[in-house]
Structure 1
Amino acid sequence: MKASKFSDAQNAFIVKRGEEGVPVAEIFREAGISQATYFNWRKEYAGSMSSEMKRLRELEQENARLKKVVADLSLDKEMLQDIVKRKL
């Protein structure tokens, strides 16, 4: 399954714009999404409170931090394995 190019917070923001009265056709065009995508997101994110949005943002930041840690550790491991191979 293809990963979304939008984060959960971005999805909720797009849905919130529709709830604020922005014409739905304009939202489709600006976001570059289909009607089906918008209405699926609306089912999932409709009525998201600001505390939920804040929690989503914090989770996304934590996820990004953890991905960076994994990348750094993977690079360290690869460098150490290369050093061990050169000594043998």
Structure 2
Amino acid sequence: MIKDQEAGLPRSELCRKHRLSSATFCKLKAKYGGMELSDAKRLKQLEDGNAKLKRPLADAMPDNVVLKDLLGKP
């Protein structure tokens, strides 16, 4: 979509074609603008992997707080 817009297709037409709001298109352009498709796919894979790694940590954090409260440590 970004390449189509850079090629001269109006943003309003692109948004209508892909059923996006103008604000969403601007966010996507800010995030993925200037990237090749392979770079964007790699970024998505890294973000997914990062989310998978953060999930167990977030699940363990409340347990740590409870244990610290029981032990009386700040």
Alignment TM class, shorter chain as reference: 0.5 to 0.7
Deviations 1:20-74 (CA, angstroms, capped at 9, x unpaired): 8764114288234188x46x628x613x223212211111102212321221221
TM-score w.r.t. structure 1 length? 0.48
Q: Tell me, yes or no, if the aligned pair for 1:15 and 1:41 is still in contact at 8 Å.
A: no
Q: Which runs of 5+ in 2 are unaligned?
A: none
Instruction: Please give the secondary structure, in 1, of the residue aligned with 2:20.
Output: helix
1:16–1:79 Cα change, 3 Å: farther
Letter in 2 for 1:45: G
Q: Which runs of 5+ in 1 are unaligned?
A: 1-13
Q: Tell me, yes or no, if the aligned pair for 2:2 and 2:33 is still in contact at 8 Å.
A: yes
Q: Tell me, yes or no, if the aligned pair for 1:18 and 1:24 is still in contact at 8 Å.
A: yes
2:30 matched to which residue of 1? 41
Whole-angstrom CA distance in 1 between matches of 2:40 and 2:65:
38
1:18 matched to which residue of 2? 5
Whole-angstrom CA distance in 1 between matches of 2:67 and 2:33:
45
Whole-angstrom CA distance in 2 between matches of 1:51 and 1:25:
26
Identity %, equivalent residues: 31
1:52 matched to which residue of 2? 39
Greater relative contact order structure (CA < 8 Å, 6+ sep)? 1
